[in-house]
Amino acid sequence: MVQLPEARDLAPRLATGAFLLNSGLTKLRADEATAQAVHGMACVAYPFLDRIPAERFTRLLACSELALGGALLAPFVPTRLAGLGLTGFAGGLFGLYLRLPGMRQEGGLRPTQDGIPLAKDSWLLGIGLGFLGAAGRRKRAAAARYRHACRRHHGHHHRGRCRC
């Protein structure tokens, strides 16, 4: 049985999903100069990416954003799974912010004016991490409801394994 996302997860799933879909669609239509710029920036932060041609890299990035955005918008994709994808993707993006020169003010994490567009990826990372904790919150709440029902059924002094 498919468990639909909880109401509290809907707004961040919709917002991040729509954002990523738009970003992916934009990159799919990127011209050669844009692909070179996106790829060049990524290569400064992650030098191993220079082995991938710029247009192919940009297309792969676009497809990743489209897949992740679609997963966030699809109600049948569990929030924790969508959060895992978002956390990994946003971690890579946030790495750009941390690794590219001139994005942060000297000696700290505060962005420079040039770094503000990349610093926003910290929000995606935070949302992804929050989604990863969502399943744990639900499991703890379900366990607490179970314990409460068991105590009502058996009384507060019941210590054995309950099968009710």
pLDDT tens-place string over residues 52-74: 999 999 999 999 999 999 999 99
**Is residue 161 in a domain?**
no
Check the CA dihedral 125-19-92-77 and report its sign. positive
For the chain, what percent of residues have pLDDT higher than 70?
A: 80
- Percentages helix, strand, coil for the chain (3-state, rounded to 5) are 75, 0, 25
Number of domains in the chain: 1
At residue 158, does pLDDT exceed 60? no
Stated pTM of the model:
0.78
Average pLDDT, the chain: 88
The residue segments making up the domain with residue 71 are 7-137
**Is residue 146 in a domain?**
no
**Is residue 142 in a domain?**
no
**Is residue 157 in a domain?**
no
CB atoms within 10 A of CB 161: 6
**Is residue 2 in a domain?**
no
How many angstroms separate the Cα of 61 from the Cα of each of 33, 47, 51, 132, 145?
A: 16, 16, 15, 23, 43
Two tokens at 64? 């990743």
**Is residue 160 in a domain?**
no
Q: What is the pLDDT of residue 136?
A: 60
At residue 154, does pLDDT exceed 80? no
**Is residue 73 in a domain?**
yes
Tell me the average pLDDT across 88-99: 95
**Is residue 71 in a domain?**
yes
